Homo-oligomer: A and B are copies of this chain.
């Protein structure tokens, strides 16, 4: 399936972004709008302290119809109590007025610092007039939702056997760990599906993509992945659409992993031969999240014994040391639970790539899984030791 950076949205979708004074000069408010009502489904963070936009979003998405998404950065409107939920409602009302729909068809998102009140007046004063600025270029909206991202994130693909296309717009760089992984992923398509069909396909796609993505094991209180299907391109074959949706989510998960806070390399961990899929997912995540694996990858240090350490700390999984093999970018480094005697320079070279793929075969069953992450660097420390203060 060929993915590309889109220059335009699927039929009937447009976006705009502005600075409304939450940040000094950068864009801090974005809107994504469909010309007509769109069937919709969403998956939200499982964190026990969901942001006010998540509390409201669950209610809104239950209706199965969306017309617009309005998102601000700088303040996440989390841990702000009833006043926070009231502010999220005011944001939806302001969006509905501007884009000519009802508040129950507007999803709001907020990302940024946890626990400070949302400056709702700035948003209410900043929104009017945005409908006149709506345009067809997804990059405009992608730029509008960036926080610590180093670049805007959009991809697009066609759906085989149809006129439909799918476009992903996302942000996310830190506080990223399943469930859900990504802070914000908005998916737009002009294919026609019901909300129930979208919900089923979205959950399946998220399971193997964003829910296997971790930058730092920390789960955001704001994570949102939403899909809007406005039907303007008519019917699309379900199987082909579901496959494209999943593949695009995996691609976007990798794009987010590669842009993880401070990251210099993307890490992909695949596990096969686990007792079952659950254990495969657990082991893949343990390797993907290990600080000692992540620093080894960062330093391109051929200290591959750490792969065994990380597998071995999965206490409740079935691990048989002498059946355990491992590869780094295709080069075998562990066989039967023993580190092979190899030329360090070869592994060092292999670890020096932009992408590091660690493969593990456990030899005890048929379970397999893949996880996505990145290296751990001083850049991560720098970004996060003064996030609030800066």
Contact = CB atoms under 8 A, between A and B. Distances in A.
A50 B219 CA distance: 31
A232 to B, nearest CB: 38
Given A313-B177, A339-B116, A290 B217 contact: yes
Contact of A298 (B179, B314, B385): B385
Chain A at the B interface: SS class? loop
A221 interface: yes
A314 to B, nearest CB: 7
Given A79-B339, A292-B384, A299-B385, 4 more contacts: A217-B289, A218-B313, A221-B312, A303-B387
Interface in A341-390: 348, 376-378, 380-382, 384-389
A10 to B, nearest CB: 34
Interface stretch (A14-22, A41-49, A250-258): A41-49
A331 to B, nearest CB: 15
Contacts of A382: 378
Nearest to A289: B217
Interface residues of A, number: 68
Contacts of A80: 338-339
A295 B310 CA distance: 23
B46 A295 contact: no
A296 B115 CA distance: 15
A195 interface: no
A337 B221 CA distance: 13
A118 interface: no
A312 B338 CA distance: 39
A286 to B, nearest CB: 9
Contacts of A380: 291, 295
Contact of A48 (B116, B304, B311): B311
B301 A339 contact: no
A379 B175 CA distance: 21
Nearest to A304: B115
B309 A46 contact: no
A291 B81 contact: no
Contacts of A203: none
A191 interface: no
Contact of A310 (B79, B218, B305): B218
Given A174-B292, A291-B218, A381-B376, A313 B386 contact: no
A338 B79 contact: yes
A37 B389 CA distance: 59
Interface string A102-137: 000000000001111000000000000000000000
Contacts of A385: 295-296, 298-299, 301
Nearest to A177: B313
Contacts of A334: 79, 115
B219 A114 contact: no
A347 to B, nearest CB: 10
A208 interface: no
A336 B332 CA distance: 52
A177 B115 CA distance: 30
A309 B389 contact: no
A113 B113 CA distance: 40
A356 to B, nearest CB: 13
Contacts of A301: 385-389
A220 interface: yes
Contacts of A309: 47, 49, 78, 114, 175, 218-221
